[in-house]
Structure 1
Amino acid sequence: MTELHLELESVRLATFGEWPTNAPVTAEELVSNGFFATGSWLEAECHFCHVRIDRWEYGDQVAERHRRSSPICSMVLAPNHCGNVPREQESDKEGNSVVDSPAQCACPDLLLEANRLETFKNWPNPNITPQALAKAGFYYLNRLDHVKCVWCNGVIAKWEKNDNAFDEHRRFFPNCPRVQMGPLIEFAAGKNLDELGIQPTSLPQRPKYACVDARMRTFSDWPIGNIQPAEALAQAGLYYQKIGDQVRCFHCNIGLRSWQKEDEPWHEHAKWSPKCQFVLLAKGPAYVNEVREATAATARSPPATAPAPSLQADTLMDEAPAKEALALGIDGGVVRNAVQRKLSSSGCAFATLDELLHAIFDEAGAEAALEVREPPEPSAPFMESCQATTSKAATTVPVLVADAIPEAPQAVIASVPATEASNVADQLQKMSMAPPNGNLSLEEENRQLKDARLCKVCLDEEVGVVFLPCGHLATCNQCAPSVANCPMCRADIKGFVRTFLS
């Protein structure tokens, strides 16, 4: 099979043979911006960054949608240096086609630092090193000491001693994407931002539904609550359109309908819109890849009969996470219910004890999770650690699996013999008071640590996204896609990185 040279505009144009003549955007405009037709209705793919865009609407500007979807694409940032070959340049002076030898006119990918560094072979200015200039996004123009940025096309010359390439870049071109990403981010050879775990920011299509509560309000007359609960759909970024059972994503604007009882909202969202930034932030690229692989595997083979969840749950109760939770004193029924919910929603088990405990507290609530029973007799070192924190109460009070001191110490004292109640009360009071040296009490310190891990937008979920270039860890996965400026420093957000607190 002959390989298509899609860097040539004429070759890309040939892929639009079945493109509708009344389409919202023309084939010529798509081709000039690096796209070729995938053959899937109104879907086009960029040859240089491989982003796919569909659902074109009348009035769309191809270049603008390309920039929003893939702001670091070499065709967007440096169309004259990305290897694109316009149709008027595809023939030599004698009219001979050069389709079979595109390497003669293709330029190196200057988004890669190594390729930029290669342009400095005859660098004449000893005041600054080629390595520093290439790292800051510049390549040499082979004219005096003029260098040009691949991202913003800014040109700087007359470099002086002790000049810092990034500082000068920021001073003259403060809005350059390379400057805003910062010097700590390097673009490894053959890797793009997606491979590095960095997601360029894009604004939601329906920002008024960015909040979970706003999406929940649209489900006031949801007709199939017995088939699909509204809360699960809202958590997955979907709001109700008041038409049958049709819902739509607030961020990528995809519509989903014909829900079945076995459908899982996150799975369906990732299956039909794998490029949705909300899904990628909330669930992660690994989850989206798993969904795509599962969908492809299902298409290749007939569905297998899965074991009943109850049978799987019985087996998983013998695994390490469940055993460790039982050893901590958590009720066996609570653990079993959490394992069954996990199997029903994702089809897999808990990998760690931490995941299981989070599920128990998030799903059942603190009161249900604390239905603990008397733990087995602990070893001597464990008893010593308990006595160091709870004194005499340690031998009679069940160990509470929680990350905070109980707010009502009286509930603990109730299970202590009356003769020892006053001593325990004195010790608990001392634990909650600040020491004479002025340090925070244990309870206050624990509260501040909890507050630091809360999302600064919804004040409910745990933080999980780092904003670039400022680097603040400020919001949860749900709130991050709807934020344009960092809540901490108000800096413009140019990208996201998912994080995992451990």
Structure 2
Amino acid sequence: MDLSSLHRYPNYQEEFNRCTTFPRQWDFRYSKAELAEHGFFSVDGSSWVVCFSCGLEINVQVDNRDSLLVQHATKSPLCSMVTGNNSINVPLPHKTIYKFEKDRLYSFLSSHFPWPVDVYSLAKHGFFYDQRKRSSCCFECQLQIGSWTQGDSSESEHSKYSPNCRFYLSGEGVENVPLGQEDTPLGRQVVQSSFAGETWPSRRAIHVVERPKIPNYRESKDRLASFSTWPASMKQRPGELADAGFFYTSRGDLVQCYQCGGGLKFWGLEDVPWEQHAIAFPECPLFRALAKTLKTFLDLKRTKSTTIVAIQNPNRPEEQETKFEIDDEGDSSMAPGGGEEKEVRLCKVCLTKELGIVFLPCAHMVTCPECAPQLTSCPICRSKFSAYVRSFLP
């Protein structure tokens, strides 16, 4: 397959449009949803996929242990989908509103829907696909149909099993948004009612704060797998260490952060992975982005007396180790600074401007108004936000 002469595919800047290019039968390592999210679309339904932004082609049939993101970054490091400097990619909102026919259709297109029924017809007649239940569900009456046979009509089956469904009867009083009408007064009204009137950003570019030092452990499951030989006597459990960005080096109790490369060892009984990560490596982008609550900095000031060894480069000699101690009063000998309360008020992306945005539905406040539009997911809980609202600190 020769796509070397092709460079950019603006028609596929929308994640939804990329997803529609994949065939129904797709049994490769990377899912259709994952490929579409990272910028790839299928040209002819084969195992070859292409990035709409840089034109990179990948054969997903070839076995590759690297994640899709690592492959993309290795083969095309300047691609805007890798660097985050992308102004035309249009990602899907995280919170699915099945009142939108487009969202219902995407639920079928992005999954392995096994039945011989037209998914466009299913979406048009109110159904979305629930992968967990493996059923087609009506967004209005909650009717669930687990299997379909050749010749079944989505409209007739709907009327047979749920004849009183308001959507089936007339659509009166039902907020259904047909395909192509997302940006109409009706579409905006549905969004507002679904999110209690909060702002719905129509376009949001992907933003990467900083690429990880050890990308092989970017995936949480890979970090967790590294703890197979973690000492059973340690109080810190592999799950919470992996959640804090650490993987196990198989040397004593030394763990290392995949994002900043910093290592920690000599763990105490009361040491909390997230807190110790923040204390030892306050500039780590992962900590700034993924701290579980904005109270963390204040909580650190009340941490009980503890000692832990932080290693900026775990592969260098022991004399590189630095010891930090925190007393009950909150005075810290760590450098730089002591985590003053004013740090809590700063945007955790630019670190200069005051917080002023609350993400919905998670309700976390972590960025300033200028940085929020660059993000597609909440930096605290990592879930994609569906809207955000301006807010002010007291």
| TM-score under structure 2 length normalisation | 0.31
User: Would you tell me which structure has more strand in proportion to its own residues?
Assistant: 2
User: Would you tell me which structure has more helix in proportion to its own residues?
Assistant: 1
| TM-score under structure 1 length normalisation | 0.25
